Structure 1
Amino acid sequence: MTGVTLRRDGHVAEIVLDRAEALNALSTAMARRLAEVCAEVAADAAVRAVVLSAAGEKAFCVGADLKERNGMSDEELLAQRPVFRAAFGGVLNLPQPVIAAVHGYALGGGCEFALSTDLIVADESAVFGLPEVGVGLVPGGGGTQLALRRLGPGKAADLVFTGRRLGIEEAVEYGLVDRRVPAGTVREEALGIAGTIALNSPTAVRAAKRAMRQGAALPLEAALDLEENAWRTTAFSADRREGIAAFNEKRRPVWP
């Protein structure tokens, strides 16, 4: 399809940014397709974990396709905006845990896609950056807010205001990367993590993600109430009953 490929293996879905000839730069058609794929995955109860990966050897995603934008009128740029927001929101709002498998350049929107996921796995070739201020923009795929929440105000300001790039060493030091792996192994590692997640109760995992995402911006007391709601959702579920039974019978659970 147009720049995005969806693969399934058991309970794991892999969404591939598949426009390697353009370093996976995000075009309007690609953004529209990504939003469609995310909606399809979100609605699929059989999917328990998601990997966001990229085709080619050089880049995860270099952000918006500036060649497409060259010569766009203000009206055309404004018309593109909701399509892009739907693409970034599609990744951010997936109910399943999402693992980014980052290699090569993850710049602008590419960095924002990674920030939209729950876990970022990157190999030695990864380079991150939010260079939008250098072309007269601010990060518009959630970068200002997601970097702030993941990195804290000082480090987020450093990335956004300077537009500089972080190699793998500094990205790990900043807390931008959760797992660092050897070059060429990032997809395998991310799929392995997703497979491990998929063995667990889908009811529990989704409830935990909701509690963590929604609670992050709340005062602790309110966030603990969210956790209580998540606990109640799982404690009286068929998954919890199956999990306890499987533990006592020394077998792998078959989640209802």
Structure 2
Amino acid sequence: MELVNYETIDNDIAVITFNRPEVANALSSDLITGLEQCIQKVKTDDNIRSVIITASGQKAFCAGADLKERKTMNDDEVVTAVQKISSVCDAIEKLDVPVIAAINGVAFGGGLEIALACDLRIAANHVKMGLTETSLAIIPGAGGTQRLPRLIGTGQAKLLIYTAQSISAEDAFAIGLIERSVAASFLQDEAVSIARKITKNGPAAIKQAKKAINQGMDLPMDEAIQLEHASYKKLIPTKDRKEGLLAFQEKRKPDYHGN
């Protein structure tokens, strides 16, 4: 049985699904390796315009590290395992196409850190989530202490990390941790609907928008504006830009190819 499944929808949406429901999709070394392989598939398939990361069932998106596996590791092996999860989160964030986390069940620790590395987060409304590491006398080690405050603000991030408390999807939506909360039965449809809205737009434009947003966040405003301008300029000579204008003029849907 594959621990991480990979499939495509409409030939341009990749769906990556964790498949260890019996252990709440805990992040074993093998699961992380499977996720790495799926990310590599996305990177090498020029047809892919957006990605959905989700999990099988409704109980768990990912409950974090595989603690049973961790117990068998020495200190150096634990550090290596955490670095591998962090590296995968970085790889997700650095994909040049948008990534949607469809959070179907609980998302704790490293599981939430994977979701934080995505561009958008949609959760079923029964879901609980949190960065609970300090309750185990550790801290988030896959980007959680950095991505969470950038997303929801320093105070709210400190509150969640210091207390190690989990919160509901309703509360997560209220503080901006997730972008949508929907009934579990609609989660997949909502994720695919958003992905399709993304993929109908100019692929090169989406990539440049993601680059400008992500890289501009930590720059002074004047440098960030320059980055936006440089990203905009790259789109001027593209065939897609001309197609967009022509399609608007002819009152039809544009046919974009990413060039």
TM-score range, shorter chain: over 0.9
Q: 1:68 maps to which residue?
A: 69
1:196 is paired with a residue whose SS is helix
Contact 1:32 1:86 in 2 (8 A): no
Output the CA distance in 1 between the equivalents of 2:120 and 2:18.
17
Matched ranges for 1:1-256 at <5 A: 2-9=2-9, 10-256=11-257
Aligned counterparts of 1:130 and 1:77: Cα–Cα separation in 2 = 18
The CA RMSD measured in Å over matched residues stands at 1.3
Aligned counterparts of 2:201 and 2:85: Cα–Cα separation in 1: 33
Partners of 2:108 and 2:132 within 8 A in 1: yes
Counterparts of 1:229 and 1:191 in 2: how far apart (Å)? 31
Q: Which moved more, 1:169-178 or 1:209-218?
A: 169-178
Unaligned 5+ runs, structure 1:
none
**Residue aligned with 1:7, SS:** strand
Contact 1:2–1:29 (CA<8 Å) still a contact in 2?
Answer: no
Q: Which runs of 4+ in 1 moved over 3 A?
A: none
SS in structure 2 at match of 1:184: helix
Distance 2:85 2:123 in 1: 24
Q: How many percent identity over aligned positions?
A: 38
Of 90-99 and 143-152, more deviation after overlay is shown by 90-99
Show CA shifts across 1:50-103 (max 9, x none): 111111220110001001111311232233244323322221211101111112
Deviation at 1:2, TM superposition (A): 4.1
Shift of 1:157: 0.2
| Offset, 1:253 | 1.5
**CA positional deviation for 1:6:** 0.8
The answer (yes or no) to whether the contact 2:127–2:169 under 8 Å persists in 1 is yes
CA–CA separation in structure 1 for the residues paired with 2:172 and 2:65 = 22
Structure-2 change in CA distance of 1:2 and 1:86 (3 Å): farther
Q: Residues 170 and 181 of structure 2 are in contact (CA less than 8 Å); yes or no, is this contact kept in structure 1?
A: no
Give the distance between the partners of 1:222 and 1:204, measured in 2 at CA. Answer: 20
Q: 2:53 is paired with a residue of what secondary structure?
A: strand
- Residues in 1 aligned to 2:140 and 2:152: alpha-carbon distance in whole angstroms: 15
Rounded Cα–Cα distance in structure 2 between residues aligned with 1:110 and 1:185: 21
Indicate the SS of the match to 2:100: strand
The answer (yes or no) to whether the contact 1:32–1:84 under 8 Å persists in 2 is no
Deviation at 1:163, TM superposition (A): 0.4
Contact preservation (8 Å) 2:57, 2:104: no
TM-score (norm 1): 0.96
1:195-228: CA deviations, max 9, x gaps? 1100011000000000000001111111111110
Per-residue CA distance 1:173-201 (angstroms, 9 max, x = gap): 11111111122211110111001100011
* Matched position secondary structure for 2:253: coil
Give, as a single letter, the amino acid of the residue that structure 2 aligns with 1:139. Answer: P
Residues 23 and 56, structure 1, Cα contact 8 Å, conserved in 2: no
